[in-house]
Chains A and B, each alone.
Chain A
């Protein structure tokens, strides 16, 4: 330490130290003022509409990402929603499903770990068909063909979906809120709304609205929404739970399906790949991609699906809990029946062919996009 008073009068060192002290003080003042201004600037741009919402989400504090700064999920609604993934209740009832003007009616049986069995009553084209969902298998019996399609899932698929949902909620990309109560088929249900968090849209864009029995974690009404409105709705008209339902684990096995049906494993091997290049190598094609993807959607996973001599590439696009799928494979035989790129969208599933690097690729879209988005995307494959 130097005592400047001990330095001789007029010393150059004395003047130099004085100048240094002035410079340091000025620099410190400027830095602190800038930091203060920065905080003020940020505060002024924080949206006031959602800033006042209380944050009580003990496990669901959103991260500091841009989309998640405004609104938060209701932890009770989140817990109730996740309870549907771990429900162990047996139940049996009648369910109606409506898409547009089409309606189907099914006898439904449910069980632990997401076991679900749908026995179709109507419409006539589906009557007698059965869908069975089990932890590792999906069975689809089609009565007119006397055929059962069998799909095997990798273990833990259901839990991976639950984890993804939890992550989306935690990151603030999905907003889960409780909107009320309503009785469905004699059961008092909590209405839970799932919305995609979109900047500038207060409360987000509704994707699902589910009516959950809080006692058993069973969904009694499921509405799928798009920005245009309700896409589909399934709801129970009657339901028995527990021992009264008479449902057993055997109801969810292949042994419960008609014995004379021919079993066809629909996907011999379905593997998720890490890159588009790996998928292209496996399928032996140049995968075409849509130049236009509807707002909010992003590619969620790429799989290769093998059936017979063909290897298809499956690309699944997601926006929150809404999805659509693109399948691509090489057309092996000449004079194939696949049409050229579509002029207008066909709802649900649409297949067409396109040339790429001298080979013909068959592209299949499956989803529920708005017609304008669908046709724009289908025409943008390059």
Chain B
């Protein structure tokens, strides 16, 4: 069970489960705040949010076609007709494949479990420690994580802009917090 009230800063799994609701705007204010806090420190999750938003955006921009009133009825009739002809063949295939699977499981049971478990454990440890791509600490180190220093320089930048009547600090506030997806400098 996911404790949705508290999202640890480095727990991408928990954040991952909330992303669809986050994009749909269905989370509570507290959950949204906590998730946004996580997103500021996790590039992977931020990218997932962006991909999710882009996917939804693409789907929303798809051309909608009108169909005739009896379209669904005709479609279901055709699917039923196809299903009926293929049902015998599919059921016999499934029975065969299930039997094979049960046989394989049975054969695995006869293999000693302890050596297999130890071997798998060692392999997992080796993978985690040797392959840089899946090492959690390394991936965290390469991720963009704004820290106290970055907050400081952002504030210093806002202050510089605010001193200039032509500066527009409100625009800078949006610029320094904008997503990677808005890089195209498109006209507003």
Contacts and interface: CB of A to CB of B under 8 A. Distances in A.
A242 interface: no
Describe B's contact surface by its main secondary structure: helix
Contacts of A102: 174, 178, 182
Contacts of A270: 156
A194 B185 contact: no
Interface in A330-345: 335-340, 344-345
Nearest to A98: B188
B24 interface: no
Contacts of B156: 151, 266-267, 270, 305, 314, 325, 327
Interface residues of A, number: 77
B183 A371 contact: yes
A210 B166 contact: yes
A329 B149 contact: yes
Q: Interface extent on B, as a size class?
A: 35 or more
A349 B154 contact: yes
Nearest to B186: A100
Contacts of A106: 170
A256 B169 CA distance: 20
B153 A138 contact: no
B163 A325 contact: no
B122 to A, nearest CB: 26
Contacts of A346: 144, 180, 183
Contact of A97 (B141, B149, B174, B179): B174
Interface in A93-142: 95, 97-102, 104, 106, 114, 116, 118, 124-126, 131, 133, 138, 140
Given A270-B156, A340-B142, A366-B153, A100 B163 contact: no
Interface in A50-107: 84-85, 95, 97-102, 104, 106
Given A232-B175, A323-B160, A347-B180, 20 more contacts: A84-B165, A99-B182, A100-B184, A114-B163, A116-B162, A131-B169, A131-B173, A151-B156, A151-B159, A157-B163, A226-B185, A267-B156, A305-B153, A307-B152, A335-B137, A337-B143, A348-B175, A348-B176, A351-B144, A366-B157
